[in-house]
Structure 1
Amino acid sequence: MSTVELSAGTIDYTDSGDGPVLVLLHGLMMDGSLWDDMVSELSADHRCVVPTLPLGAHRHGMNAGADLSLPGIAALVGEFLERLDLRDVTLVGVDTGGALVQLLMTGDQKRVERAVLASCDAFDNFPPGLTGRTLVAGGRLPPRAFGLFMQQMRLKPVRRLPIAFGWLTKRGDASAKRWMRPVLTRPEIRRDTVRVLRAAAADRRFLIPVAERLPGFERPALVVWASEDRVMPPEHGRRLAELLPQGRLVEVEDSYTLLPLDQPGRFAALIREFVRE
């Protein structure tokens, strides 16, 4: 694990392999370990750079004045690309990470060569599903009370509920359990998470104008969607692919939203084929 000091604070990241650069972005209440199985596969012939963003499972408290709205975190990813001087990047995002990728696709594209959107927040689906709405509602609590509210996530039966991770992954409960540790044990992480959730609640329609700008992304784009997704509507995958001038849709069976946990081999193969093309 490496660290980099950005304007918002310290960010952990992993950087492994050599070849075309992949930057892999996780979702809310997750960390970079979401991508571990795929990095093991892809780092044989790609450089895989995976930041852990301040989305609730990070390990360093952010600066008091940091912008922790999703547009602010997308800008932080752009700063991360600049600081590491990453070029000709393939951006890959799932869940809320896909919303961040959309923001970057419609902003400064000078370091972005391709984009992969995988089962992610889009259009009016924000916050997405029961999980997103429950989290955003919890964010109205003070950080200490939010921590008490999240204590129930220590229990596997609670984590497997539709309001938690039950509709996000079929096979990834061990990862979900690990992602809960920072918010359960660190006051500064609870503070940051509440700030993220309150910013999300303040602008629930921000992805609609973003979608309107997606046709301006004229570089190769792959949309990968879980055909059984119960949080991110499969119809949104089709709509995103149609909006993108070079968009292509692939649907993956036997997976919920978190394809890197449920179908890492299949997802990795699709990315390898996409970059090779």
Structure 2
Amino acid sequence: MEMIDLPHGTVSYRAAGPEDSASPPVVFVHGFLVDGSLWSGVADLLAAKGVRSYAPQWPLGSHRVPVPGADQSPRGVARQILAFLEALDLTDVTLVGNDTGGALCQYAVDTDASRIGRLVLTNCDAFDTFPPFPFNVIFQLLKEPRRLRFNLQPMRLRAFRHSPLGFGLLARGFDPAQSRAWIEPALTDAAVRTDAARFLQAVDPRELNDVSTRLGAFRGPVRLVWGTADRAFKPALGRRLAAAFGGAEFVEIPGARTFVPLDAPQALADQIAGIAASSKEQA
């Protein structure tokens, strides 16, 4: 893992692919209580295609370096994403988001799209679905650091962690070591719990719904790669989001759930590489 100091704090990230790649750089945005390892399979497949990618650990509860004093609102985390692009001088970026990270990508293009060339969103929050049922109920139980720690205790058990009450609704299967690593920071570090709770406290579905009214102003290509077996972010939500961008491409991934990067890494990598290639041809 590499480290970079940003105005809000230190961010660790994994870079994959050739440094001299001729393809636009890819930057991944994961969701709440997940880290950048969500994208490892996709990043390795892109690297084999000659695409350079970056998978940062955003401060959403699974990060290892706390960010005390940072603006942990969704808009604030979006600014952290933009600061990462600026610090590494990344331009014409393919920004890729999943779950909560998809909402953060929407905030990012609404805030400053100057370094973002195109957008790929997998199953994610949109409009006033932020978060969807049943996670809107679960997140209410995690908004205070002590309650977050208490309510995460059952997640120590793999059976619970991979059940519908844990991550079970989000993918067809999980690596137990990976899912354990996702919850470990919030279980063991009070400062990380505070960062995570501050984010949840600032989530406002009305604000994301307002952002949706301006998504059509983004001029780059947009592709939604949507798992059709998702019980939380259903395809109808994805099609509505595609329309909000002014007719973005909508690609169905049969059998995939929320975590498309885990359920269908090859299909997602192909779509990410494909949108970059097609936009380059059109330029």
TM over 0.5: yes
Q: 2: distance between equivalents of 1:210 and 1:137?
A: 26
Partner of 1:176: 179
Q: Does the Cα contact within 8 Å between 1:156 and 1:173 map onto a contact in 2?
A: no
Partner of 2:281: none
2:228 is the alignment partner of 1:223:
no
> Which of residues 71, 74, 78 is equivalent to 1:74?
78
Partner of 2:166: 164
Shift of 1:197: 1.4
Amino acid at match of 1:130: P
Q: Does the Cα contact within 8 Å between 1:147 and 1:183 map onto a contact in 2?
A: yes
Partner of 1:103: 107
Q: Does the Cα contact within 8 Å between 2:171 and 2:258 map onto a contact in 1?
A: yes
Shift of 1:138: 2.2
RMSD: 1.4
Shift of 1:187: 1.5
Partner of 2:156: 154
1:129 is paired with a residue of what secondary structure? coil
Q: Does the Cα contact within 8 Å between 2:16 and 2:44 map onto a contact in 1?
A: no
Q: 2: distance between equivalents of 1:2 and 1:13?
A: 5
User: Residue deviations 1:86-123, cap 9 Å, x none?
Assistant: 01100000001100111112221110110001100001
Q: 1: distance between equivalents of 2:162 and 2:213?
A: 35
Partner of 2:188: 185
* Cα distance, 1:107–1:157 mapped onto 2, change above 3 Å: same
> Which of residues 28, 32, 36 is equivalent to 1:24?
28
Shift of 1:212: 0.6
Shift of 1:246: 5.5
2:26 is paired with a residue of what secondary structure? strand
Identity %: 40
* Cα distance, 1:205–1:161 mapped onto 2, change above 3 Å: farther
Q: 2: distance between equivalents of 1:173 and 1:212?
A: 38
2:134 is paired with a residue of what secondary structure? helix
> Which of residues 51, 55, 67 is equivalent to 2:56?
51
Q: 1: distance between equivalents of 2:136 and 2:271?
A: 27
The more displaced of 154-163 and 7-16 is 154-163
2:9 is the alignment partner of 1:9:
yes
TM-score normalized by structure 2?
A: 0.92
Shift of 1:177: 2.1
Shift of 1:135: 2.2
Q: Does the Cα contact within 8 Å between 2:233 and 2:258 map onto a contact in 1?
A: yes
Shift of 1:47: 0.8
User: Residue deviations 1:250-274, cap 9 Å, x none?
Assistant: 0101111000111111111111112
Q: Does the Cα contact within 8 Å between 1:229 and 1:255 map onto a contact in 2?
A: yes
Q: 2: distance between equivalents of 1:76 and 1:154?
A: 30
Shift of 1:176: 2.0
Q: Does the Cα contact within 8 Å between 2:141 and 2:151 map onto a contact in 1?
A: no
Shift of 1:242: 1.8
1:116 is paired with a residue of what secondary structure? strand
The more displaced of 207-216 and 159-168 is 159-168
Partner of 1:62: 67
Q: Does the Cα contact within 8 Å between 2:223 and 2:275 map onto a contact in 1?
A: yes
Partner of 1:136: 140
Shift of 1:173: 4.7
The runs of 5 or more residues in structure 1 that have no matched partner are none
Amino acid at match of 1:222: R
Q: 2: distance between equivalents of 1:61 and 1:230?
A: 32
TM-score normalized by structure 1?
A: 0.94
Amino acid at match of 2:7: S
Q: 2: distance between equivalents of 1:270 and 1:132?
A: 30
